[in-house]
Amino acid sequence: MTLLTEAVRDGAIGGRLWVYANYHCNLQCAYCLTESGPLVARRELSPERLQELAVEARAAGFTALGVTGGEPFLVPGLAAVLPALAKRMPTLVLSNGTLFTDRLIDQLRPLAGLDFAIQISLDSAEPDRNDEMRAPHNFAKVVAAVPRLQAAGIRVRIATTSEGLGQGELERLCNLHRSLGVPDHDHIVRPIVRRGRAAEQGLGADVVRRDLPAELTITADGAFWSPFGPTVRGGRLDTDLLTRTTSPLTVPAAAMVRVAQGTPRSEPAGLGVV
């Protein structure tokens, strides 16, 4: 048993390896912790690199894979490698849900029946309130995409990021996701983290490393403590870098275990990406 396997088994670090496929995005949300947007540097991990990481992750003892960004589906060739990732380990892709053309959904059909899900952001049952933080027509695009993905055999999860939902608003949102065929266990609600653009906008809750989920996260810039770690502020990378070395994966995995063993754990802060 490796040190990483033990750390995952003991709950010192999460079993999911996160990878940032890119940093660019067709949206420019007010609270984006990576300051993603259409004009930022792409900082991509190629689909081939994602496949390498999945192989290494499995061998190292990780139990699941998470692909995030930026908007991952802007990376050319991503859809084509997802079945290979999902056959190796349970795979979750985070998306803003706005790019699902018929052509892209056809490319995703081989994922039907695999341990795979797409987690789409939706922040309110009120279109105006959702779109205010994300983009015009975002609500309509997401609500249209969910059933089309499900019809192609893709499991869809909904993630809600908010400064605070009133009870009535939360109930309306839950009624909406249920009506879309997304069960309660596939809906997560998390606070805005005051990092990246959220910090610039004065939004969200301040956090320190021990508040963040201990989940190794690989980006084009290096390896980080958490998927909330590789944040950007004023165009500069600012937090929670473990090591610039990401290959072989055993190097950042060992760094992660060392840091986790020396980091006191906080009470759960409800910041989990999943």
What's the closest the beta carbon of residue 174 comes to ligand SF4, in angstroms?
Answer: 21
Pick the piece of the chain touching ligand SF4 (CB under 6 A) from 12-20, 69-77, 171-179, 207-215.
69-77
> Looking at beta carbons only, is 96 or 246 nearer to ligand SF4?
96
For residue 38, cis peptide bond before it (omega within 30 degrees of 0): no
Nearer to ligand SF4, 34 or 246 (CB): 34
Residue (98 or 107) nearer to ligand SF4, CB: 98
**How far apart are alpha carbons 133 and 205 in whole angstroms?**
16
Cross-strand bridge partners of residue 17: 65
How far apart are alpha carbons 42 and 183 in whole angstroms? 34
**Smallest gap from residue 2 Cβ to ligand SF4 (A):** 32
Binding pattern to ligand SF4, positions 91-120, x when CB under 6 A? -----x------------------------
The alpha carbon dihedral of 267, 269, 271, 274 has a sign of: positive
> Which parts of 8-67 interact with ligand SF4 (CB under 6 A)?
25, 27-29, 32, 34, 36
DSSP characters over 230-271: S-EETTEE-S-EEES--SSTHHHHHHHHHHHHTSPPPPP-S-
Tell me how far, at minimum, the Cβ of 154 lies from ligand SF4, in Å. 19
**Residue 69 in the binding site for ligand SF4 (CB under 6 A):** yes
* Strands (E) located in 49-182: 64-68, 91-95, 116-121, 155-162
70, 110, 191, 229: residue in contact with ligand SF4 (rule CB under 6 A): 70
Q: Smallest distance from the beta carbon of 247 to ligand SF4, in angstroms?
A: 25
Q: How many whole angstroms from its chain centre is CA 246?
A: 19
DSSP 273: -
Report helix, strand or coil for 55. Answer: helix
The amino acid that residue 257 corresponds to is V
Least separation in angstroms between CB 142 and ligand SF4:
11
Q: Does 192 bind ligand SF4 (CB under 6 A)?
A: no
Least distance CB 162 / ligand SF4 (angstroms): 13
For 161, phi then psi, to 5°, come to -110, 125
Q: Which is closer to ligand SF4, CB of 134 or CB of 259? A: 134
Of the two residues 31 and 116, which places its CB atom closer to ligand SF4 in the complex?
31
Question: For binding to ligand SF4 (CB under 6 A), which residues are involved?
Answer: 25, 27-29, 32, 34, 36, 69-71, 96
